[in-house]
Amino acid sequence: MGTKGDESNQLILGQLKILFERFHKKQIRKTELEKNLISYARKTGFINNTYRKQAWNLLINTSDDEQYTQDQQQLKSHQYYEQTRLDVIRTLKRFPPNYSEAERSGLQDELIVIINQILVKHRELHYYQGYHDICLTFLLVLGNELCVPILDSITMSHLKYFMEPTMEKTRDSLNYLMPLINCIHSKCAEYMERGGVGHVIFALPWFITWYSHVLDELDVILRLYDLFIVSDYLMPIYVAAEIVNYYGDEILSQDCDMATLHQYLSCLPTEIDTKVWETIIERASHLIDRHPPETLESLASEWKIKCKHIEKSSPQSYLPQRANQLKTNSAKNLVKPSNVLSRVMFWSVALAVGGLAIYLYNQSSAIDLNTFLNLGDIYR
Amino acid sequence: MTESIAPPDTGVFTDQERPKRIFKIIVIGDSHVGKTCLTYRFCSGKFPEKSEATIGVDFREKTLDIDGEIFKLQIWDTAGQERFRRSMINHYYRNVHAIVYVYDVTNLASFENLPGWINECDKHVLDQDLPRVLVGNKCDVSNEQIVVPNSVAQRFADAHNIPLFETSAKADEHQDHVNSIFMLLAHKLKHSKPLMSQPKLYAHRDISVSSPTTANEPGYCSC
Compute how many other C-beta atoms are within 10 angstroms of the C-beta atom of residue A23: 19
Cβ-based neighbours of A267, under 8 Å, separated by 6 or more = none
CB contact under 8 A, A316 and B207: no
| Per-residue pLDDT, A346 | 60
List chain B residues with CB under 8 Å of A319.
202, 204, 207, 210
The reply to whether A280 and A183 lie within a common domain is yes
Asked whether residue A259 is assigned to any structural domain, the reply reads yes
Which residues, other chains included, contact B222 with Cβ-Cβ below 8 Å and sequence gap of 6+? B126, B197
Distance CA A52, CA A143 (A): 12
CB contact under 8 A, A255 and B202: yes
> Quick one: A86 and A24 in the same domain?
no
Q: Taking the domains of chain B in order of start, what are their residue ranges?
A: 3-215
Please tell me the distance from the alpha carbon of residue A205 to that of residue A266, in angstroms, as a whole number. Answer: 9
Nearest to A260 by CA among A328, A327, A195, A194: A195
pLDDT tens-digit series, residues B25-69? 999 999 999 999 999 999 999 999 888 999 999 999 999 998 888
* CATH code for the domain of A85: 1.10.8.1310
Q: A246 and A206 in one domain?
A: yes
Query: Any alpha helices (H) in A122-273, and if so which ranges?
Result: 131-154, 168-174, 177-184, 186-194, 204-208, 218-229, 235-246, 248-252, 258-267
Provide the edge-to-edge strand list for the sheet that holds B98-104: B3-5, B57-66, B69-78, B21-28, B98-104, B132-137, B164-166
Same domain? A109 vs A196 = no
Establish if A26 belongs to a structural domain.
yes
Contacts of A253 in chain B (CB under 8 A): 205
Check CB contact under 8 Å for A93 and B52: yes
User: Is A331 within a domain?
Assistant: no
Termini Cα distance of chain B: 35
- Stretches in chain B below the pLDDT threshold 50: 1-13, 195-223
Q: How far apart are CA A137 and CA A115, in angstroms?
A: 12
Residues of A in contact with B59 (CB under 8 A): 259, 262-263, 266
The predicted structure's pLDDT at residue B90 = 77
For the domain that residue A242 is a member of, what is the CATH number? 1.10.472.80
Per-residue pLDDT of chain A (380 residues; tens, 9 = 90+): 445 578 889 999 999 999 999 999 999 999 999 999 999 999 999 999 999 999 999 999 988 778 899 999 999 999 999 999 999 999 877 788 888 989 999 999 999 999 999 999 999 999 999 999 999 999 999 999 999 999 999 999 999 999 999 999 999 999 999 999 999 999 999 999 999 999 999 999 999 999 999 999 999 999 999 999 999 999 999 999 999 999 999 999 999 999 999 999 999 999 999 999 999 999 999 999 999 999 999 999 999 999 999 988 855 444 433 433 444 444 334 334 445 555 556 666 666 666 666 666 565 544 444 444 444 444 44
Closest by Cβ to B207, choosing from A90, A204, A319: A319
- Report how far residue B148's alpha carbon sits from residue A231's, in angstroms, rounded to the nearest whole number: 48
Domains of chain A: total: 3
A105 occurs within a structural domain: yes
Q: Which of A319, A322, A326 to mutate to test the interface with B (most CBs of B within 10 A)?
A: A319
Q: Which candidate from A129, A259, A314 shows the least CB-CB separation from B199? A: A259
pTM for the predicted model, two decimal places = 0.82
3-state SS class at B11: coil
- Same domain for A173 and A289? yes
Burial class from Cβ neighbours inside 10 Å (0-12, 13-18, 19+) for residue B7 reads exposed
ipTM over 0.85: no
Q: Which domain holds residue A83?
A: 72-163
Handedness of CA A195, A197, A199, A200 (dihedral sign): negative
* Architecture of the structural domain at B3-215: 3-Layer(aba) Sandwich (3.40)
Q: Examine the domain organization and report whether A176 and A206 are in the same domain.
A: yes
Assigned domain for A347 exists: no
Task: State the Cα–Cα distance between residues A235 and A296, nearest whole angstrom.
Answer: 12
Cα A17 to its chain centre, rounded Å, is: 29
In a domain, A336, yes or no: no
Q: How far apart, in whole angstroms, are the C-alpha atoms of residue A311 and residue A231?
A: 35
Which of A142, A163, A184 is the C-terminal boundary of a domain? A163
Q: CA of A119, closest CA in chain B: separation in Å?
A: 16
Whole-angstrom CA distances from B104 to A79, A113, A225, B154 are 20, 26, 36, 14
Tell me the sheet residues that pair with B75: B25, B60
B 15-44 residues with CB < 8 A to A: 22, 24, 31-32
- B-chain residues within 8 Å CB-CB of A129? 31, 53-55, 79, 81, 83-84
- Is residue A208 in a domain? yes
Residue A218 lies in a domain: yes
Query: Looking at the structure, do residues A174 and A289 belong to the same domain, yes or no?
Result: yes
From the list B52, B88, B205, the residue facing A171 with the nearest CB is B88
